[in-house]
C-alpha cells in the first residue's frame, strides 16, 4: 500500500476535485454510497486553499440517443441520468462545496477525463501549476481518468486516499495499491491530514 508523500507540496499545486456533484451524493441511480463520508475531508482541503481549487463536473447527455459511438448506448442504458430526466440542478456541485466557487474554478466535461475537450491543461499551465492534489468520485472511473491523464501530461499527482469515493470498495483499494505498484514515480497517495501538513 502507498505510504505517504515524498516531498512537500509546493505553492504551484492545485486541488483538483473530480465530479463531487449532487447526482453522485443525493438519491439518484448514480448515488455513490460513501460520498457523504468523504465530503467533510474535501471541504477541509477546500477551506485550506480556497483560491487553489478546481472542480470538474460530469455533464450528462440531454436525452437518450445522444452521444458519439459507445456513448450513444451508454445514454440509452442510463436514460434516467440524462439532463431531461434528471434536471440540471443535480449536475451542480454537492451543496457543501458550492460556496467555494468562486474563487474556485469549474470545468465542465462530457466524458470521464477532464483533459479531453476542455481547457483544463492550458489554464493550469498558464498559472504555473505542476502538482495536482486529487479528490472526488469515483476512484475507479472519472478520478482514474483524471489521474492517468495528469500523469501523461507530466503533473505530479497526489491522491488523497480519504478524499476519494467509489461504489466499489474492492476497486478503490486495488487502484490505491496499483498507484504504488505501477505508478510510484508519478503518483503518491496520502491521507488528508498529511497532505495539509505538507502543503503550507
Q: Walk me through the domains of the chain, giving residue ranges and CATH numbers.
A: 13-58+93-198 (3.40.50.850)
Mean pLDDT, the chain, integer:
94
How high is the pLDDT of residue 3? 58
At residue 2 the predicted structure's pLDDT band, cuts being 50, 70 and 90, is: very low
CB neighbours (10 Å) of residue 79?
16
The contacts found for 31-40 with CB under 8 angstroms, 24 or more apart, are 32/137, 32/138, 32/165, 32/166, 32/167, 33/165, 33/167, 34/165, 34/166, 35/94, 35/137, 35/165, 37/165, 38/135, 38/162, 38/163, 38/164, 38/165, 39/94, 39/96, 39/97
Q: For residue range 133-167, list pLDDT tens digits in order.
A: 999 999 999 999 999 999 999 999 999 999 999 98
* pLDDT (mean) for 28-42: 94
φ, ψ of residue 117 to 5 degrees: the values are 75, 20
* pLDDT (mean) for 18-45: 95
Residue that wins the pLDDT comparison between 37 and 1: 37
How high is the pLDDT of residue 4? 79
At residue 31 the predicted structure's pLDDT band, cuts being 50, 70 and 90, is: very high
Residue that wins the pLDDT comparison between 3 and 109: 109
At residue 1 the predicted structure's pLDDT band, cuts being 50, 70 and 90, is: very low
- Say how far apart CA 117 and CA 107 lie, in whole Å: 10
Q: For residue range 84-130, list pLDDT tens digits in order.
A: 999 999 999 999 999 999 999 999 999 999 999 999 999 999 999 99
Model confidence, pTM: 0.95
- Say how far apart CA 127 and CA 125 lie, in whole Å: 5
**Helix, strand, coil tally for the chain in percent (to 5):** 40, 20, 40
Amino acid at each position: 500500500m502507498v505510504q505517504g508523500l515524498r516531498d512537500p507540496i509546493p505553492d504551484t499545486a492545485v486541488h483538483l476535485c473530480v465530479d463531487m456533484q449532487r447526482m453522485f451524493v443525493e438519491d439518484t441511480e448514480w448515488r455513490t454510497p460513501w460520498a457523504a463520508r468523504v465530503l467533510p475531508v474535501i471541504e477541509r482541503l477546500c477551506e485550506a486553499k480556497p483560491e487553489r481549487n478546481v472542480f470538474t463536473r460530469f455533464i450528462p447527455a440531454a436525452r437518450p440517443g445522444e452521444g458519439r459511438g459507445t456513448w450513444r448506448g451508454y445514454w440509452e442504458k442510463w436514460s434516467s441520468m440524462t439532463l431531461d430526466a434528471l434536471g440540471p440542478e443535480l449536475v451542480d456541485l454537492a451543496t457543501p462545496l458550492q460556496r467555494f466557487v468562486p474563487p474556485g474554478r469549474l470545468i465542465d466535461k462530457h466524458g470521464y477525463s477532464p483533459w479531453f475537450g476542455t481547457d483544463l491543461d492550458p489554464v493550469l499551465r498558464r498559472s504555473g501549476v505542476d502538482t495536482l492534489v486529487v479528490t472526488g468520485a469515483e476512484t475507479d472511473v472519472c478520478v482514474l481518468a483524471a489521474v492517468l491523464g495528469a500523469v501523461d501530461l507530466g503533473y505530479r499527482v497526489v491522491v488523497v486516499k480519504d478524499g476519494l469515493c467509489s461504489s466499489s470498495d474492492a476497486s478503490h483499494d486495488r487502484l490505491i495499491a496499483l498507484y504504488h505498484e505501477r505508478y510510484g514515480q508519478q503518483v503518491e497517495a496520502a491521507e488528508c491530514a498529511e497532505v495539509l501538513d505538507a502543503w503550507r
